Structure 1
Amino acid sequence: MKKTLLAAAALAFTAGLAHAGDTVRMGTEGKYPPYNFINDKGQVDGFERELGDKLCAMESLTCTWTTNDWDSIIPNLLSGNYDTIMAGMSITDERKKTIDFTQAYYPPAFSAYLGKDAGANIKGVVAAQVGTIQADYVAKSGATLLEFPTMDDTIAAVKNGEADAVFADKDALKPFSKAEGGDFVWAGQEVQLGEGIGVGLRKSDTALKDKLNDGIGKMKADGSLNVLLKKWFGDETPTF
C-alpha cells in the first residue's frame, strides 16, 4: 500500500513538472476537422491549433503539440503524457469527475444525423465515435449504437451500409454533407448537447487552468474568439 501511494505521489509530481518553465504540451486527436487535423506538412492544424497557439502566446507559454487516439486521450492526460486536451471535447459532469476544464471556448454546439437520404432511420443502427457525448445520446435514444474509434470510421459505416446514419457534432459532419460536396444528407432533428467545449486539464494544474481561462476570457471580451470561430466554422456558427 505504501509503495502504491509513493508511486501515485511520484506520478503526480512528474505531471506537475510537465509544464515547468512555462512549457505546455498540448494534446489533441488530429482526426476531427475542422477542430483539429493533420495537414499536408504532417503538422497539427485546425481551429484548436490556432486557438491554442494564440492562448499560449497571450499567456507567455511555450507550447508543443502531440496527438493521441481519442479512446485513450483522458488516461494519457492523467498519466502525464501531455498537459492539456484540446480535441473538441465537450464539458460534461461525467468527465468533470475525472479531469478539470477551463471555461468553454466553443459554445454548446448542435449535433446532427447524416445518412444516405433524409429518411434515414435514426432509430435503427446509428454510428458514433466511441467515448463521445453523441455516442451516449444514441445509446439512450432507442437506436442501436455502433461505436468506432474515429470519425472517418463512422462515415465509412454509413457508406458501406453497416449503419443507417451517423450522429456527431454538426460542424464535424458538414464536409460529408451534399451541401458541402459530400455524399450524405441531414436526417432527423439537430440536438444541442453538453456545456460547450473547453480545455481539459488535470485537477492539480490550477495555475495552468487560470492562465488559459485568462486568455479565453480576454478573447471573448475583445471579440477575437468569435472571429476565430467564424473563420473555421462559418458565419452561422454559435458565438459568444
Structure 2
Amino acid sequence: MKLLTIAATTLALTAGIAHAQTVRMGTEGAYAPYNFIDDATGEVTGFEIELGNELCARAELDCTWVRNDWDSIIPNLVSGNYDTIMAGMNINEDRKQVIQFTQPYTPAMPSAYAALSPDVDVEGGVVAAQTSTIQAGHVAETGATLLEFANPDETVAAVRNGEADAVFADKDFLAPIVEESGGELVWVEGYDTVPLGEGIGMGLRQSDNDLRETFDAVITEMKEDGSLNELIKKWFGEDALTFE
C-alpha cells in the first residue's frame, strides 16, 4: 500500500481552538469495516472515516486523510507524517509507551479464531495474524507458531491456501468474511470470542495534549448524545457492543 501524500499545514494546537485548523488523520484503508477503500470511488471509507469526519466537524477542525501501511503507522505518526491514527488500533500498555490515546471510541471488541474446521488446534498449530497487532502478541504468548502478515487479508488467505491452521483477528473484521465464505471458514470452537485490549482509540503523539483533549471532548459529547452508539450500530450491526 502506497502512502498517499497530502499537503497539509503543520499547526501548533492550543487549548480553546478559535478557528478551523488542518489536522492530518492517518489510517490504513485495509481493515473493513473500520477503514477500507470504496471500490466505486477509490476513496477511503468506513466506520472510522465517518466518525473522524464527524469529530472534526464538531471540533471545527479542517481534517484530511492520509493512508499508510499498518506496520509503519506508529513510526510515521511519531515522525510527523500525520497528526492522528484512526486505524482500528486497540489501546494497550505497549503502545502507550510510544504514543498517547484518546478515550476509546469503541468498547473493547472481542477477537476470534477462524479456520477451515471448528476443531483445529489454535494453541499448538500455526496461526496467522497481522503484524504488530495485539492478536499477534497474544498468539506469540501461546504454544502456537505465529505466522505474521503485513495485510489483514493475507492472514485469511494463509488459512485458505493451507499455510496456517487458523487466523486470529478482531471478530468484527472476520465476521463478514466468515459469513460470506459459504461455510468454507468457520469459528474455532471455544475460541470464537477472545477478549483483548482496552477498546479502540485515536492515537496521537505524546506531545499533542491539546489535540487529544479536543478530540476527547467531542468523543464524550457523541457518547452522551447517543450518536456514537448509532454509528457503531450502522457499521457493525444492531447487536454490536455499544457504550452504556
- TM-score normalized by the length of structure 2: 0.89
1:160 correspondence with 2:161: yes
Query: Are 2:33 and 1:34 equivalent residues in the alignment?
Result: yes
Partner of 2:226: 223
SS at match of 2:90: coil
Q: 1:191: which partner in 2?
A: 194
Distance of 2:64 and 2:183 partners within structure 1:
33
- CA separation of 1:39 and 1:93: change in aligned 2, threshold 3 A: same
Q: Residue type matched to 2:174 in 1? A: L
Q: What one-letter code is carried by the residue in structure 2 that aligns with 1:54? A: E
Counterpart Cα distance in 1 of 2:183 and 2:151: 18
Report sequence identity in percent: 61
Q: How does 1:74-223 map to 2 (within 5 A)?
A: 74-123=74-123, 124-178=125-179, 181=182, 183-187=184-188, 188-189=190-191, 190-223=193-226
Match of 1:17 in 2: 11
Contact in 2 for aligned 1:175/1:181 (Cα 8 Å): no
Greater Cα shift, 92-101 or 20-29: 20-29
One-letter amino acid of the structure 2 residue matched with residue 200 of structure 1: G
Superposed displacement of residue 179, structure 1:
6.3
Amino acid at match of 1:58: R
- For 1:37 and 1:106, how far apart are their aligned partners in 2? 18
Structure 2 residues not aligned, in runs of 5+? 1-8, 15-19
The alpha carbon displacement at 1:110 in A equals 0.3
1:48 corresponds to: 48
* Other-structure match for 1:239: 242
- Amino acid corresponding to residue 242 of structure 2 in structure 1: T
Contact 1:115–1:186 (CA under 8 A) maintained in structure 2: yes
More helix by share: 1
CA distance in structure 1 between the partners assigned to 2:181 and 2:51 by the alignment:
24
Q: Deviations over 1:204-228 (max 9, x none)?
A: 1111111100110000001100000
Contact kept? 2:23, 2:61, Cα under 8 Å: yes
Q: Is the 8 A contact 2:111 2:196 kept in 1?
A: yes
| Distance across 2 between alignment mates of 1:106 and 1:126 | 26
Q: CA RMSD in A?
A: 1.8
Distance 1:152 1:18, change over 3 A: farther
Unaligned stretches of 5+ residues in structure 1: 1-14
State the distance in 1 between where 2:60 and 2:223 align. 18
Q: Is the 8 A contact 2:11 2:21 kept in 1?
A: no
Please report how far the alpha carbon of residue 182 of structure 1 lies from its aligned counterpart in structure 2 after TM superposition. 6.5
Deviation at 1:120, TM superposition (A): 2.0
Separation in 2, partners of 1:219, 1:90: 20
Alpha-carbon distance in structure 1 between the residues aligned to 2:224 and 2:129: 35
| Paired residues, number | 227
User: For the residues of structure 1 that align with 2:142 and 2:74, how far apart are their CA atoms?
Assistant: 25
Provide runs of 4+ in structure 1 moved above 6 Å: none
